[in-house]
Each structure stands twice: as C-alpha cells, then as structure tokens.
Amino acid sequence: MVKLEFFDPSGTLEVTQAHAPRLSSLAGSKIGFVSNEQWQAFRTLPLLKEMFEADYPGIRMLPIDTFPQGNANIGSEEVARLVRESGVDAVIIGNAA
C-alpha cells in the first residue's frame, strides 16, 4: 500500500469572544433592529416587529429606523455604540442575501 499524508488546507480559527448570552424571556424585553435596508427589509422587518408585539405583550420593539441603516453604516463602531447606549436587550440584524 502507498500512503500519502498531506496538510489540511483550511487554516485554523481563533475564537476570541463568546456569543451574547440568550434572554431568559422575551416578555418585557427591549429589542432593536439593525437593518441594511436591502432585500425587502422595509417589508420583512416591520412584519417581524408586528409579530413580536402581537405574541409578547409588553415587549418593547424599537422602531426599525432607530439606528443608522444601510450597508455603509451597520458595521460601524458608531452604530455599535448607539446600540449599546440604547439599552436594548437584543438586536435582530437583517437582511443578508
């Protein structure tokens, strides 16, 4: 038998930060949206907001345009700062395609 040994070419990954902890409950929570305004976000995100509000009375869903929108903005430190300062418990990010 001939044996060939060779390298895995995919490189290694470094996990340097943990995902945010999940919420214990949506009831009474404050949720924001970070939108790139692409891919029908103007229809999908308002619908999501309506569904959350209908299924979880007392939930505080921020308006879709609370934070700067658009591909050019949503990855910025400025948006991250505004999200942190808003006191939201979580954000929903959309839409990728």
Partner 1 sequence: MKNAVSGLGLAPDAAMITFPIDLFVPGSDLAPLKARKNEFYDGLTQWKSDYAGSEGAAPMLSVEGATYEDALAKANHLYITNLWGDGLPVWPATRERVDWILRGTPLARAHRIGKFPPRGGVTTVETCAIALAMAGGRPEYLPVLIAAVDAFLDPESNAEQLQAASGSAFPVVIVNGPIAKQIRLNSGFGCLGPDPQQPAGASIGRALRLIQQNVGGALPGIGAMANYGGLRYTNVVFAEDEASLPDGWLPHATRRHGFARDTNSVSLAFANGGTNIRRRGAKKETPEEDATQGMYRMADFMRVPNMPGLIGYEKGTPGILMIPGVVANAMAALGWTQQSICEFLWEHSKIPQSNLKRAGATAWIEIDASAVTRASLALDPWPITAKPENFVLIVAGGGHPTNSWWLQGYSPRVLGRLIQVPETFEELLTEADRDLGCGSDYCRV
Structure tokens that stand for 27 in this block:
């009831």
79 lines the binding site for partner 1 (CB under 8 A): no
44 lines the binding site for partner 1 (CB under 8 A): yes
Beta bridge partners of 90: 31
- Phi first, then psi: give them for residue 52, nearest 5 degrees: -60, -45
58 lines the binding site for partner 1 (CB under 8 A): no
- Phi first, then psi: give them for residue 30, nearest 5 degrees: -120, 120
Alpha carbons within 13 A on the beta-carbon side of 56: 14
3 lines the binding site for partner 1 (CB under 8 A): yes
Question: Which range, of 42-50, 60-68, 78-86, touches partner 1 by CB under 8 A?
Answer: 42-50
48 lines the binding site for partner 1 (CB under 8 A): yes
Question: Which range, of 60-68, 79-87, 88-96, touches partner 1 by CB under 8 A?
Answer: 88-96
Distance CA 94, CA 39 (A): 9
Binding positions for partner 1, rule: CB under 8 A:
1-19, 22-26, 29, 31, 39-40, 43-44, 47-48, 51-52, 55-56, 70-73, 90, 92, 95-97
